């Protein structure tokens, strides 16, 4: 295949004319023939005024370009979608597949010999990895980095575990409106991604674990000079890939590399959202994410990283403790260290180069874990025929085996209307059930699985109770919350047959979630379910509804999956 500007020529029926026309137009930008004869590195620009997590992207782009040009290649910046959690309706997850499709097509349509994909906020890195998994050119990733922390009345604040904690205090009446406004000004003190082990930090770390970005690129703070130097080094690596070739994402992400990611996910207190994203990435690669393996690893690999919401620290401390390389060294016995990286060498080489940080306690040893269990457990049972997940490291120990009466909400809207009513019939021993909040039902599988504690109970001091749903939960959230119940209620899943007053048993030890009715009644209710509701009549909404898959399949589009 041709390289540089000769790559991917527009079809005019005359290849010579196609190149002639392309060079004529690009010279309008002031490029010389010398520049246009060099290998091309594409740089995806995900800056947006709607995306503060990507507020440093313009600076990172300039540093990447510098690294590319210092190494003899030509940088070409191109825009793509940019998705922010708080500025995407109905949800950011609704748009992840669209961003993946757009990024893939732009990489395919435009001439580039390698590409730098800059992403940060929760759905951007997964979308970009999904896109690159279907591309024939090498891709190297550059996370935007975690934000700084703020302070309020002597305590540190960081988005977004503290967002939820402080909002919970406001709902329960512990702090007043004037103070919550003050807190609102301090929670997000700089550009960058959430500074706890939420989905953004989890996916950045996993990108590094899988060898797709440079060492320490996941954790260097967004506002530090080190982040800019990493951007320049990423550009240099991309220039080498453009000139000499290298492994593609499809070649890098073998089942062994995905297994390494699952090991790290269990050890780091990572987000439940990572399971959905990894499942989608695996689907693009032509194999299924092994949920049984994920659960088995959670029983062997304990929680080692002391970060909120499973611990107490923030990403800056994780970085200072050695970041992902130090974590890889801590779990080295569980890794396939022969897994290659996009920048050359293997994960074993990364582990061998680690210098220990004396006295750090953020990244523990396997013999001295923060908690003896892994981050995530996979549940089955009559309510979850195709599985569900729980972030057991952030759950209440006393609720890990619990039977309670179901209090059912039929939709996010229903929950919003009734959850804070003083007339809601609910006690702390009950189990809150939210349905029709999955990929199809919401649509877009919102992060509504973290149902708020009903206000009447919050005022009584209740901090946690069992909550189950077909929705997702922010990686920054905490509590005894069962998520991603598959299939979802809107796709004929058993969640649809629960009635308020039924009892449900959660047994994390036995890895089960069950509705306690006899088999005949269960079958009768399932048979009586109405047909699935029709989706939107046009546009992307119709495409999404007709083709989105279930959570255990990554909520990707069926037509985007590789043959298995």
Q: What is the CA radius of gyration of the chain?
A: 24
Cis bond upstream, residue 90 (ω within 30)? yes
pLDDT beyond 90 at 508: yes
Residue 519's CB: how many other CB atoms inside 10 A?
8
Among the listed residues 119, 468, 158, 208, the one whose alpha carbon sits nearest the alpha carbon of residue 309: 158
Average pLDDT over residues 290-308: 96
Is residue 40 within 8 A of residue 7, CB to CB? The reply is yes
**What 8-state DSSP symbol labels residue 377?**
E
pLDDT beyond 60 at 56: yes
DSSP strand pairing (512-515 vs 503-507):
antiparallel
Average pLDDT over residues 336-353: 98
Q: What is the C-alpha separation between 238 and 93, in angstroms, rounded?
A: 29
Q: What is the structure's pLDDT at 171?
A: 87
Give the pair of three-digit tokens for residue 283.
């689907």
Average pLDDT over residues 231-259: 97
Average pLDDT over residues 405-417: 97
Strands (E), 436-563: 467-469, 481-483, 503-507, 512-515
Percent of the chain with pLDDT over 70: 100
DSSP strand pairing (155-157 vs 512-515):
unpaired
pLDDT beyond 80 at 304: yes
Give the pair of three-digit tokens for residue 39.
């290998």
Ranking 163-177, 266-280, 397-411 by mean pLDDT, the lowest is 163-177
What would the pLDDT profile of 108-127 be if each residue is shown by its tens digit? Answer: 999 999 999 999 999 999 99
Average pLDDT over residues 463-476: 93
pTM of the complete model: 0.95
What would the pLDDT profile of 181-204 be if each residue is shown by its tens digit? Answer: 999 999 999 999 999 999 999 999
Is residue 238 within 8 A of residue 114, CB to CB? The reply is yes
Q: What is the structure's pLDDT at 2?
A: 65
Residue 189's CB: how many other CB atoms inside 10 A?
18
**Mean pLDDT taken over the chain:** 96
Q: Residue 456: pLDDT band by 50, 70, 90 thresholds?
A: very high
pLDDT beyond 80 at 476: no
DSSP strand pairing (503-507 vs 401-409):
antiparallel
What would the pLDDT profile of 157-179 be if each residue is shown by its tens digit? Answer: 988 888 988 988 998 899 999 99
27 to each of 10, 34, 38, 374, how far by Cα in Å?
17, 11, 14, 56
Q: What is the C-alpha separation between 56 and 289, in angstroms, rounded?
A: 33
Average pLDDT over residues 53-58: 97
Q: What is the C-alpha separation between 527 and 524, in angstroms, rounded?
A: 5
Q: What is the C-alpha separation between 136 and 156, in angstroms, rounded?
A: 45
Helix axes 539-547, 92-109, angle to 10 degrees: 100
pLDDT beyond 90 at 284: yes
Q: What is the structure's pLDDT at 354?
A: 97
pLDDT beyond 70 at 1: no
Q: Each residue of 26-48: b (16+ CB within 10 Å) or e?
A: eeeeeeeeebbebbbbbbbbbbb
Percent of the chain with pLDDT over 90: 94
Strands (E), 323-386: 376-379
Q: What is the C-alpha separation between 220 and 195, in angstroms, rounded?
A: 11
Give the pair of three-digit tokens for residue 154.
């002597």
| Angle, CA 343 vertex, CA 337 and CA 345 arms, to 5° | 35
Q: Each residue of 324-355: b (16+ CB within 10 Å) or e?
A: bbbbbbbbbebbebebbbbbeeebbebbeebe
């Amino acid at each position: 295949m041709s390289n540089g500007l000769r790559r991917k020529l527009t079809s005019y029926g005359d290849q010579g004319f196609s190149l002639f026309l392309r060079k004529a137009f690009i010279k309008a930008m002031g490029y010389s023939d010398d520049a246009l004869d060099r290998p091309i590195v594409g740089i995806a620009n995900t800056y947006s005024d709607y995306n503060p997590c990507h507020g440093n992207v313009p600076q990172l782009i300039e540093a990447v370009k510098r690294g590319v040009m210092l190494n003899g290649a030509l940088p070409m910046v191109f825009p793509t979608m940019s998705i922010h959690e708080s500025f995407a309706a109905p949800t950011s997850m609704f748009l992840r597949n669209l961003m993946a499709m757009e990024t893939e097509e732009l990489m395919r349509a435009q001439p580039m010999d390698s590409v730098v994909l800059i992403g940060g906020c929760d759905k951007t890195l997964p979308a970009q990895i999904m896109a690159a998994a279907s591309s024939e050119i090498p891709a190297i990733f550059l996370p935007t980095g975690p934000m700084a922390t703020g302070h309020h009345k002597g305590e540190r604040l960081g988005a977004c575990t503290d967002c939820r904690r402080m909002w919970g205090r406001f709902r329960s009446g512990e702090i007043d409106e004037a103070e919550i406004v003050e807190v609102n000004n301090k929670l997000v003190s700089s550009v960058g991604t959430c500074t706890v082990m939420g989905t953004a930090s989890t996916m950045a770390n996993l990108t590094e674990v899988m060898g797709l970005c440079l060492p320490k690129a996941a954790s260097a703070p967004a506002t530090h000079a080190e982040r800019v130097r990493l951007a320049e080094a990423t550009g240099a690596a991309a220039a080498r890939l453009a000139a000499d070739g290298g492994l593609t994402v499809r070649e890098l992400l073998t089942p062994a590399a995905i297994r390494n990611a699952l090991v790290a996910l269990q050890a780091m207190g990572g987000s439940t959202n990572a399971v959905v994203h990894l499942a989608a990435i695996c689907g693009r690669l032509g194999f299924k994410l092994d949920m049984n393996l994920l659960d088995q690893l959670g029983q062997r690999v304990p929680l080692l990283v002391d970060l909120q919401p499973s611990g107490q620290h923030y990403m800056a401390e994780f970085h200072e403790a050695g970041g992902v390389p130090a974590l890889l060294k801590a779990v080295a016995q569980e890794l396939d260290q022969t897994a290659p990286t996009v920048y050359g060498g293997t994960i074993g080489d990364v582990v061998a180069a680690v210098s220990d940080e004396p006295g750090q306690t953020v990244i523990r040893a396997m013999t001295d874990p923060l908690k003896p269990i892994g981050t995530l457990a996979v549940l089955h049972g009559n309510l979850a025929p195709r599985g569900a997940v729980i972030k057991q490291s952030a759950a209440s120990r006393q609720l890990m085996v619990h039977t309670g009466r179901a209090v059912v909400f039929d939709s996010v809207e229903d929950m919003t209307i009734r959850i804070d009513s003083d007339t809601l019939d609910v006690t702390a021993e009950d189990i809150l059930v939210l349905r029709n909040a999955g990929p199809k039902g919401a649509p877009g599988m919102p992060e509504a699985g973290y149902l708020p504690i009903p206000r009447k109970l919050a005022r009584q001091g209740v901090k946690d109770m069992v909550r189950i749903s077909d929705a997702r939960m922010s990686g920054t959230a905490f509590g005894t919350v069962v998520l991603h119940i598959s299939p979802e209620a809107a796709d004929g899943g058993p969640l649809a047959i629960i009635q308020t007053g039924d009892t449900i048993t959660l047994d994390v030890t036995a890895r089960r979630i069950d509705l306690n009715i006899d088999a005949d009644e269960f079958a009768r209710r399932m048979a009586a379910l109405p047909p699935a509701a029709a989706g939107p009549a046009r546009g992307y909404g119709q495409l999404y509804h007709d083709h989105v898959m279930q959570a255990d399949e990554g909520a990707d589009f069926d037509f985007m999956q590789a043959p298995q």
